[in-house]
Chain A
Amino acid sequence: MADARHSHEPDLALFQPILQTGKSFYLVAGALGAVAAWSIFAWLYQLTHGLGATGLTRPIYWGLYITNFVFFIGISHAGTLISAILRLCHAEWRRAITRSAEVITVLVLFFGVGNVILDLGRPDRALYVIRHGNLRSPLLWDVMSITMYLTASTIYLYLPMIPDIALLRDRVAKRRRLYRLLALGWTGTEEQHRRLERAISIMAILVIPIAVSVHTVVSFVFAMTIQPGWHSTIFGPYFVIGAIFSGIAALIIAMGIIRRAYNLGHYLRLVHFNNLGLLLLAMSLLWFYFTFSEYLTTYYGGEPREMAVFYAKLSGKYAPFFWAMIVTNFVIPLVILSNKKTRTIAGTIVASATVTVGMWLERLTIVVPSLANPRLPYARGLYQPSWVEWSMMAGFFATFILLYMFFTKVFPIVSIWEIREGREKGVALAQKRIESYHPPHPTGGETHSGRGGA
């Protein structure tokens, strides 16, 4: 049986996670599974008791669940958007990281949607948004946009997987029926490659506006109301920036773990972390710029109802969260990532970890303080998340990581054929492209088209 266990097999390390599973994998999976099982219990508790099982109250009708919804949907911008942009820019260094990014997107979207369903008083009626859909509601825009994004990013994840699945079909003894089905009869002919590249390009272009629309309409859920702190025209781009920011952070963390767990140091190299780290730094600066604009405008205007929310965040009850957000989203990443000495693999991972926490805090400080300070000062409930909410949050994170781990056991988490293509053709393509940037050599008779992107 051709089982890829030959030392001369190229890129053996990329097959290895599928072929062999170590003890630590089962240990981690077991621990995560236990957390997930506990969250199922918490969910059943909430289903039988009603949303009273949460700490939500009037006027803080939304809390952890909606925070997590926005957070997860934000993380989903990791993948598809970053991978699509890098692909379209012909960034050669993308090859090793696109798959791991795209998987995050597809998986995490389910958890974003899951949080909304969790937040419904009547989850049994969730499909009424289709049956009785009111097109004027921003929540319905979310339903449409997220459905579109999930569809597009699933296709966009699957297409570049086809040649790899065909490789697995031919080399791996396990799951042959699954691989044969998903490989769609791929044999790697010139014609098949041409079609695949074309399909991937089309999806890469399509997926960008959809991704931007997703977090724009998520922000519209808040911005379309007239509530203080929410009713802001900057929210659309602010949310998109934050989404890409947290998405890159999640991707770097995932890459760090994959690199360590599967010994893929040769594939996920310093340059990948360095480049993504620079991107993260750029997003951190952009994020701070948006945050600064948002809060300065509010402060300068000084409208009393807006100021109530402003002070609740800057010096009031939510100040610890707000300032922790500034430190984790801006100060720490800025210090680590702007210095080449600290922009190492470990450094970018640390910065990404703080950004992930910071962006979660950002979502929290957008959702809760505005609700806690409504225009009329009479309704003043206190929100303390209950054990059910914390359990569900832990469960969602655990299940997400678990599914991600399972993915790496069934499909290669680094695209094998793209790595090989890069190795075989990448240098020539890049050289041709760079030559096309410059005027033709004065002595040479050869003419260049001058068009970028080979």
Chain B
Amino acid sequence: MPRWGMVIDLDKCTGCQACVVACRVENNVPFAGSEQAEMGRAIFWIEVLSIVEGEYPNVRTRFIPRPCMQCDHPPCTAVCPTGATYKNDEGLVAQIYPRCIGCRYCTNACPYTVKFFNWFAPQWPVEMRNFNPDVARRPVGVVEKCTFCHHRLQKAKEQVKIEGRKLREEDYIPACVQTCPTKAMYFGDLDDPESTVSHLVKSTRTFRLLEDLGTEPKVYYLSEGEWYGGRKA
């Protein structure tokens, strides 16, 4: 079974937010509105975090796109009282929306704070109601988060079955990776020694967020610099 992982080259990231937009459209992520967003209630399956360094006039902003880390040892799944969030056979941390009771224990147990809650019934501006039929829209009161575009894997598997061949690396790519204009994001099987991602993670520039917690995130970052929360120094 493949271990799906993502590599994000921060030295190539321009902070353009194309991944955020692509994700929102692909996954039918609702719009919170400016007032609710101000309160911190906006939902971002992937979010470009910005870190401002230095004092004016010597200021530098660095960007770090943050999807769900898809941990191999996820702290969020064990605590779920109904098994609505769990690690599936593909190694991805999945959510069963119809089973979620909305207790938000998983959102609190996640050290990366990447799980989001539907405070109200989801809303979209009129122009954004051209929904992706492959992704279920979430009702009020449940938790949601990045799935590594798991629906694309399902589709790819069906396609591969019809064509009677094996799954290739380019068959399954999440929307954010596909969109990235500077090609800063990579996706593939971390257990396949020939894959691009497994070559990239061997780089000396590699780090993961909060690596010392033992959560084994499957999102790797590449950077020459120092990053908050990462082990790289």
Contact = CB atoms under 8 A, between A and B. Distances in A.
Interface residues of B, number: 43
Contact of A58 (B41, B78, B99, B142): B41
A61 B41 CA distance: 10
A139 B105 contact: yes
A254 B140 CA distance: 40
Contacts of B80: 134, 137
B101 interface: yes
A122 B102 contact: yes
Contact of B40 (A58, A128, A133, A226): A58
Nearest to B143: A121
Contact of A375 (B111, B121, B140): B111
Interface stretch (B112-120, B129-137, B150-158, B195-203): B112-120
A225 B141 contact: no
Interface string B4-29: 00000000000000000000000000
A61 B117 contact: yes
A30 interface: no
B159 interface: no
B117 A132 contact: no
Contact of A378 (B108, B113, B117, B143): B113
Contact of A225 (B101, B103, B108): B108
Given A52-B119, A378-B49, A58 B107 contact: yes
Interface in B31-76: 36, 39-41, 47, 49, 66, 75
Interface in B209-224: 209-210, 213
B111 A137 contact: no
B209 A376 contact: yes
Contacts, number: 143
Nearest to A54: B119
A224 B108 contact: no
A121 B79 contact: no
Contacts of A382: 39-40
Contacts of B81: 128-129, 133-134, 137, 139-140, 143
A82 B36 CA distance: 46
**Which residue of A133, A138, A375 has the most chain B CB atoms within 10 A of its CB atom?**
A375
A98 B198 CA distance: 67
Contacts of B210: 375-376
Interface residues on A, range: 35 or more
Interface string A42-54: 0000000111100
Interface in B77-124: 78-84, 99-105, 107-109, 111-113, 116-121
B114 to A, nearest CB: 9
B79 A137 contact: yes
Interface in B142-174: 142-143
A224 B80 CA distance: 12
A50 B41 CA distance: 13
A380 B80 CA distance: 24
Nearest to A141: B81
A401 B54 CA distance: 57
A121 B117 CA distance: 9
Nearest to B104: A61
A88 interface: no
Given A50-B141, A134-B81, A374 B117 contact: no
A321 interface: no
Given A51-B119, A61-B117, 12 more contacts: A50-B119, A50-B140, A57-B40, A58-B116, A61-B104, A122-B141, A137-B80, A137-B105, A139-B79, A143-B81, A376-B209, A382-B39
8 interchain residue pairs of minimum CB distance: A121-B102, A381-B40, A121-B141, A52-B119, A139-B81, A61-B104, A57-B40, A52-B120
Interface of A: 49-52, 56-59, 61-62, 116, 119-123, 125-126, 128-129, 131-134, 136-140, 143, 221, 224-227, 371, 374-382
Interface of B: 36, 39-41, 47, 49, 66, 75, 78-84, 99-105, 107-109, 111-113, 116-121, 140-143, 209-210, 213, 228-229
